Structure 1
Amino acid sequence: MSAVDRAFETLRSQNKKALVPFVTAGDPSLEITAAALTELGKRGAAVCEVGIPYSDPIADGPVIQASYTRALDKKIKLKSILETIGSVTPNLPCPVVTMISYAIIHRHGPEKYLDMAQAAGVSGAIVPDLLVEESDAFAKLCQERDFSLIQLVTPTTSKERAKKIVETSTGFIYYVSVAGITGERTELPTNIVDNVKWLKSQTDLPICIGFGINKPEHVHMLKEACDGVIVGSAIVRRLCEAETKPQEQVIQEVGDYADSLLEALNG
């Protein structure tokens, strides 16, 4: 059983849902990434997701794309990112997973990447550009190591393909709420609940909904349909303000924002 599995098992026993916050590694600095993870863990995040900057991100909207560009401009490398994650995971009350392109995993070699990630205390990976038809070998490696391979199902994924995706996924399923890119939205599609209800009939894995979620009202609307929510752009946008505002203030604001989501989720 992976650390991600244990986190959701604990939540189920407490009749609670998961908040999965996303931060971009190295934006605006690795020091702030570490501080944000620490704060989000302290506030009650179930799993923290760390985006590994990549020059050609898949489905990321303007806020996260810009954060990746800023981090890459600073020449931040995977080794430094994992060292930073490894500096906080020993004292973090929740597991960390990476959002990472398979191109980066392939470049390092799947086994070497897993060695590096696990040495840093990383418990899983979301790999948005790993096609389910090509995922068997990496999925097997992850399963052998109790390393969660979290895969995405979108509103345009056919039911047949969705069934294949859940068969090779571990940890949880990332359900993409909208067809399109990440980013804060005023409204979410009304068919999310029905889509997730069908997906739940196909798997025992927890299902977390991401893309577009940024308000307590969104969380309140979705919480009965899913096992957790993933919030990215709204957190990344707040963290980048540390370029012009005191770091302590920004981290406090991010923590307070997480509190408002958790109150809507489990209050």
Structure 2
Amino acid sequence: MTTLRAFMREISPGHVFVAPAMFVLSVFFLMPVLGALVMSFTDFDLYALADLKNLRFIWLGNYINLMQTPLFWKAFGNTCYFALVGAPLSIAVSLAMAMLLNVPGVGLKALYRTALFAPYVATLAAAAVIWRYMLDAQYGWLNQFLIVIGLQPIDWLGNPHFSMPAIILFSVWKNFGYNMLILLAALQRIPDDLYEAARVDGAGGWERFIHVTLPGVAPSLWMVALLTVAGYFQLFAEPYVMTQGGPAQSTVSLLYFMYEDGFKWWNLGHASATAFILFAVLMGLSFLRPKSEEVFA
């Protein structure tokens, strides 16, 4: 009883308020994650779903099988291509738009911020459907514009060479607004005195960007980079709506591969192993954060 009373005295009001949220996270997040981890070591499929007696532990069998599956490596390569090209492009566009909005004397900034942020709040599936029609090989307005200026139309979503760049273009347009607002807030925290001192020292626009702007936004920039790369590695809705993984599997991502493996072919153990391989990749990327002073010294 004495121990219980001592324990109750140590519980702060903060613990009491956090407890419901921790309970919800445990039930609806941690337990499913642990269940999926266990499932990745089994041959859980449609037969096991009908009768658990058919369930067998095969331990690393799913992971070994994935390493021997060409489509998995195709999906992994597509995902890396999408993330390593799309994420830097999205960050660059976000920083450029933030710097334009941060220029003194520009009017209607609130209107521009709203207009540039609007694609981010639009429903992803609806926006993807609109872009699919915009990029249509026969009726899309982008190809109509190419014809008007004397160029040949391009089968954006039907040509393996253009399908992933088209999805990258859509994703950059859809997502850059969120990062733009974060970087805009970071830019507004940089004291004007630093820019003035750089001008007095004879620094041009590029030197001020390298030695004042980038170090000033570095903490926010690294956070944005980490979140953007992690988000781009979770590519699913864009190919699902726009290309269904085609053409010639050029837009199959790891999540799309996992979805079809798990919910089309009911290889749930196999799909769970894919999910944890992606988790391991993202966990590894989270440890690659360099110190800002090493980069912008």
TM-score, structure 2 normalization: 0.24
More strand by share: 1
Which has the higher Rg, Structure 1 or Structure 2?
2
More helix by share: 2
TM-score, structure 1 normalization: 0.25
> Whose relative contact order is higher, 1 or 2, with alpha carbons under 8 Å and at least 6 apart?
2
